[in-house]
Structure 1
Amino acid sequence: MFLFETKLHRAKRELASRVSNKFYQKDPIAWYCDKFGEDIKNLKWSEYHFYDGHVWDGTPDPFYQTFVSLAEKRWVGIESATSTGKTYMLPRILMWFLDVFPEASVITTAPKEGQLKNILWKEIGRAYPKFNRIRPHSELLTLRLKVDTRRAKEQFEDEVVYNLNVGHEAIGFVSGVGAGEESAVKMQGFHAENMLFVLDEMAGIHPAVLKAIINTSTGSNNLVIGMGNPDSQIDPLHEFCDLDKTDHIIISGYDHPNIVNKEKREIIPGAVSQQSIDLRESEYGKESPFFKSRVRGIAPTQGTDSLFRLEWLEKCLIDDEKFHGKKRRYGYDALAIDVAQSEAGDKASYGAGKSNEILYLDSFPCPNALHLAFNFMMENHDLDAKEYHNYDVIKVKDFNLYSHNIGVDSVGVGAATVDGFLEKGVEVIGLNGGQLEDAIPLDNEEKPLYQFNSLRAQMYWQLRIDLERNEVIVNLLSHPNYINIIKQLKKELVQIKYHIKSGKIGIESKDDIKKRLGGKSPDLLDAFVYWNWMRHNFYDNSGIGIVSA
């Protein structure tokens, strides 16, 4: 009889818990206040009296809206200014989901181990005592929060049954640009009726990981929340925010209680301050990408340390309404080739144009780098007759090309392409090595205006100068896949980051760029950069005549 009463009591308690949880599933704000025991003002800033009449710069009451969207089974993407409390809020969301949904699984991830352990999970640790009061049998481990560690023993006559809450937990692992494919495979293995993905510092998460998360989150209560400081409008965070099923939330520093409160009293210690905003404004300017990203939570058109600005390219596109390109002809006809030798890996690419107008830009699989040179020198029917690979490229005879205006990336397999031109009697320029001293402009004291750590950095910087000055005309309208070519060129352009070390300008490695491009090389941009470099005639040799096929 005692056993029967114990079971009945347990059943009533579990029924009451399920009824309560269903209520809190739909009203996470009530859970936050009633069960977690925190002040509604932490979620809903407008509850402070000094918000009367405030004009919101970002999303009104962003944390409150985040909870509401998740309760409505919407995904949430948050682009945030720095020091607004976004990491404080994530553990509350995680713990709400674990507490109110049966057998819930939460997967947390960030690009770097330090971000995951020392920021997100450190904040989870701070919030854990409150969760432990709600779930006294929970356990917090390294990158793991188990909701109930008991092995419940139930006696049914002579049979003993053990029940274990497998998977009712939160876990964490790294998914940065260097761990993309491996992490993507892990993500695809998660499946649960109630599942939440928490993506912190999402701008740095590998695109393959995001794609895997989206593909595996197919259940009605498979939710995704991503947040971070936006880097650009093509980073994974912003692209996630643009999805139809994602509610896009912006947290601006101008909306934070510390800033809105005119009494100058710090409402939330350690958070954004007027002094920090003023410092960034004086250092970077209000219109700078860094200020927009870190102060207002607005995704800039390019990264905060990007070499190029997207609007520079748009003003040079001949079909764009923003076109301001200088139509006067100056410069030389040029051809530039970025070499590859692979049928399935990196692609070869080339750019060609007349004067300052690029007319051809394309990339394609290239299994033979030697044949690549022959393609530019020989007619297609001659290529076919000799059983050479035919890449269907332009011919040098269609341009007024001097050999010193033909540039080939001669590193690695590119040497074979250079040799192929030599075999046809054309001595092209191999693009490799250190900076070209003669191409660096001088200041008023006859000293070099710039210094570069490589020729590659110098060539990229030259394109930066020419795009900013609208001295290039991009006319690729004849390309049969024009829209996609321009879209890909823009995507590659805004990914390039630069640095200045010991007074020398450098460009990040191609491997780092490929990681952010989902493993793809910036083939089109490389060809564009090399073509722009070659049209300047830096390698002038007036004794050499026009190249003919």
Structure 2
Amino acid sequence: MSDKYLEQEIATRLAEFFDDPLGFVMWAFPWGQLPEMSVVRLPEPWRSQFHCDFGPDKWVCELLEDIGRGVRERGFDGVNAVMPQRIAIASGHGIGKSCLTALLVTWLMATRPHCKGIVTAVTASQLTTKTWAEINKWMKRSVVADMFEYTADSIRAKEAPETWRVDAVTCKEENSESFAGQHAASSSPFYIFDEASGISEKIFEVAEGGLTDGEPFMFMFGNPTRASGTFYAAFNDRKKRASWYTRHVDSRDVAITNKRQIEAWKDEYGEDSDFFRVRVRGEFPNQASNQFIPSFSVEEAMKRAPTDHPTVATIGVDVARYGDDDSVIFFRFGKNAKMPYRVFHGLSVVALAHEIKKAIAYCYELGFKQVYCFVDETGVGAGVVDILLDAGYKEVYGINFSMAADDSDQFDRKRDEIWGRAREWLKKGCLVEDEDLKHDLVAPEYEIRPSGAIKLESKESMKKRGLSSPDIADAFCLTFSMLIAEYSPEDYQRANQHVAQARMDYNPLDFRF
């Protein structure tokens, strides 16, 4: 067979694998021919499909198939830009992330002429000695090895070395401009972040600008060591996670991991410890060192059944300040916060005031003797409060988050205080089971001021960390703005009927007051 014929045959096969990364991986590498490529037995149905006993682990096969499906769904035509594929994998140790990175880079570089990529890792040592070394090793043993030139920090196509390449770039903040747009409008710009939990938010912010043309890809891999940042937000932020394909990979489920070491960690630290969660289960820690509300506290509150008998209803309203924020109306009846909340996007102050009137009327219809409605009057919320007060709604109280706390020795400002009261309430209260609310509650961090008072992280600071504004949680916490008498013993039985009726009235598809 002539070299020219072989090149034509390879080119034909590469075109076939444009939307089939798993097929490419099984075709391009010598599975079963080297000792380290004869470790994992290829699971069914892929073993029969590819007539091969060895190959990637099951989770890798599934991921590659899902990526191929994403390519087909987007249907990139080489001209019109498509939505990026964003892939985030949180895992325990030893699952073969560096190998997966190498497989992906080889597939992208081989099947997409003039693509441009950047690979980075949390440290220069991790990048050069592990991630980049693994990419070089696997690409050189593939059937497309001769298409490329290899250097210490770059792999380039011999045909077009300046426009068809992937580079290893350190992720120091001062190097952030290196992550600017890849400008591969007729091909695929791609980014791969190894140990993504520790990478600076500035890097991710700049890299986002490279996802605007062509057929972009962004991959994040790593142990979920931090309960904040872009990597965390991909799994947990209620607004951002919709744009990410996410997956947790437990080291115990992967063929190549050291099971004896894992058992030793289980005995030493416990299966529910943060060490085991992060290093083995591939799950984020229950509570970061400066996380204000721990995850387990919210989870326990969501599991409790409502047994409370309040006679007073409280409503919290967080008013949107910015274009991507939401206005939220939240109900709480004593220790029962199982009621559905409402989220509004883009409402005018007049329209939001109308929705609040309906919420107050609903509580009275349920038979509650008194209603307290606490509205965030910071910024545009002041207009909502004015409209309601002018209309004679004495139930409405404007709350400014920056006003002084009642307990100024313990809390810096009012917002810090109401979150503190909510944190205590969660120890005995029952909360609606809702992932968006949970993520909002556990997202903010805090600090201790020189005076000893607690200062909760601001919404602006959270956005700089890649997280959305915790609008739902703020609305819930607003229900603790005042210390009020929520109970009347002689009305317990009647009040319990109000709660039961409210739960029956709830239709998640058409919630009406």
State the TM-score, normalized to the length of structure 2: 0.58
C-alpha distance in 2 between matches for 1:125 and 1:308: 39
Provide the C-alpha distance between the structure 2 equivalents of 1:20 and 1:32, rounded to a whole number of angstroms: 14
**Given the alignment, which residue of 35, 39, 49 partners 2:36?**
39
Partner of 1:107: 117
**d(CA) in 2 for partners of 1:10, 1:257:** 38
C-alpha contact (below 8 Å) 1:338/1:527 kept by paired residues: yes
Does residue 287 (structure 1) correspond to residue 272 (structure 2)? The answer is yes
Q: 1:465 aligned to 2:424?
A: yes
Distance 1:247 1:87, change over 3 A: closer
Q: Secondary structure at the match of 1:436?
A: coil
SS at match of 2:122: helix
Measure how far apart 1:145 and its partner are. Answer: 3.0
Distance change >3 Å, CA 308–CA 256, structure 1 → 2: farther
Query: Shift of residue 349 of structure 1?
Result: 3.6
Alignment match, 1:14: 7
1:92 aligns with 2:102: yes
Superposed CA deviations along residues 107-147 of structure 1, whole A, max 9, x for unmatched, are: 3467xxx63866446634434664579449615476x5323
Q: Is there any run of 5+ residues in structure 1 with no aligned partner, and where?
A: 1-7, 47-59, 151-163, 177-182, 262-271, 381-389, 441-450, 475-482, 539-549
1:123 to 107, 118, 130: 130
Question: Which amino acid is the alignment partner of residue 362 of structure 1?
Answer: R
Amino acid aligned to 1:287:
D
Q: CA deviation at 1:22?
A: 9.3
- 1:137-148 superposed matches below 5 A: 138-140=149-151, 144-148=154-158
- Find 2:459's aligned residue among 495, 510, 521: 510
Does the C-alpha gap of structure 1 residues 37 and 191 become closer, same or farther in structure 2, counting only changes over 3 Å? farther
SS of 2:221's equivalent in the other structure is strand
Residue 309 of structure 2 is aligned to residue 328 of structure 1: yes
| TM-fit CA distance, 1:466 | 1.7
Q: 1:119 to 1:94 in 2, by over 3 A?
A: farther
Q: How many angstroms apart in 2 are the aligned matches of 1:108 and 1:333?
A: 54
* Structure 2 CA distance for aligned equivalents of residues 16 and 428 of structure 1: 72
CA contact (8 A) 1:254 1:296 kept: no
Equivalent position to 1:338, from 292, 297, 318: 318
Q: Report how far residue 250 of structure 1 moved.
A: 1.7
State the alpha-carbon separation in 2 of the partners of residues 223 and 517 from structure 1. Answer: 19
Q: Residue 525 and residue 326 in structure 1: after superposition, are their counterparts in 2 closer, same or farther (change >3 A)?
A: same
Match of 1:409 among 373, 376, 386: 376
Give, as a single letter, the amino acid of the residue that structure 1 aligns with 2:475: A
Secondary structure of the residue aligned to 1:227 is strand
- 1:495 is aligned to 443
CA distance in 2, matches of 1:473, 1:34: 51
Letter aligned with residue 294 of structure 1: R
Structure 2 match to 1:56:
none
Q: Of the candidates 404, 407, 418, which is equivalent to residue 437 of structure 1?
A: 407
Matched ranges for 1:279-428 at <5 A: 281=269, 285-288=270-273, 291-298=276-283, 307-308=292-293, 322-329=303-310, 332-340=312-320, 344=323, 346-357=325-336, 361-364=341-344, 365=346, 367-368=348-349, 375=353, 393-395=358-360, 398=364, 407-414=374-381
Measure the CA separation in 1 of the matches of 2:329 and 2:61: 50
Deviations 1:431-458 (A, max 9, x none): 43454328x9xxxxxxxxxx44544233
Deviation at 1:296, TM superposition (A): 1.8
Larger radius of gyration: 1
Match of 1:265 in 2: none
Verify the 8 A CA contact 1:98 1:147 in the aligned structure 2: no
Given that 1:336 and 1:406 are in contact with CA atoms closer than 8 Å, whether structure 2 keeps it comes out as yes
Q: State the 1:530 CA deviation.
A: 0.9
- Tell me, in whole angstroms, the C-alpha distance in 1 between the residues paired with 2:281 and 2:271: 10
Q: C-alpha offsets along residues 248-293 of structure 1, whole Å, 9 cap, x if unaligned? A: 57241686867335xxxxxxxxxx77776666x1xxx422455323
Q: Which residue of 1 aligns with 2:164?
A: 168
Aligned partner letter, 1:259: N
Residues 99, 514 of structure 1: alpha-carbon distance in 2 compared, 3 angstrom cutoff: closer
Q: Is the 8 A contact 1:91 1:124 kept in 2?
A: yes
CA distance in 2, matches of 1:216, 1:210: 13
C-alpha contact (below 8 Å) 1:463/1:529 kept by paired residues: yes
1-structure distance, mates of 2:325, 2:316: 17
Q: Is the 8 A contact 1:196 1:224 kept in 2?
A: yes
Q: For residues 118 and 456 of structure 1, do their structure 2 counterparts lie closer, same or farther at Cα, with a shift above 3 Å needed?
A: farther
What residue is the counterpart of 1:259 in the other structure?
258
* Contact 1:84 1:251 (C-alpha < 8 Å) held by counterparts: no
Cα distance change, pair 132–287 in 1 and its aligned pair in 2 (3 A): closer
Aligned equivalents of 1:238 and 1:530: distance in 2? 22
1:61 & 1:501 partners in 2: Cα distance?
A: 55
> Measured at CA, do residues 529 and 196 of structure 1 come closer, stay the same or move farther in structure 2, by a change above 3 Å?
same
C-alpha displacement at 1:509, in angstroms? 2.5
TM-score normalised over the length of structure 1: 0.55
1:528 Cα offset (Å): 0.8
CA RMSD of aligned residues (A): 6.0
1:530 to 478, 491, 510: 478
1:301 and 1:145, CA in 2 relative to 1: closer, same or farther beyond 3 A? same
- The residue matched to 2:258 in structure 1 has which SS? helix
User: Number of residues paired by the alignment?
Assistant: 428
1:236 is matched with which residue? 234
1:511 CA drift (Å):
2.4
Q: 1:45 to 1:313 in 2, by over 3 A?
A: same
In structure 1, distance between residues paired with 2:32 and 2:9:
15
| Structure 2: segments with no counterpart, 5+ residues | 43-53, 71-85, 173-178, 487-513
- Retained in 2: the 8 A contact 1:308–1:464? yes
CA–CA separation in structure 1 for the residues paired with 2:245 and 2:373:
48
Shift of 1:531: 0.6
Change beyond 3 A, Cα 1:422–1:165: same
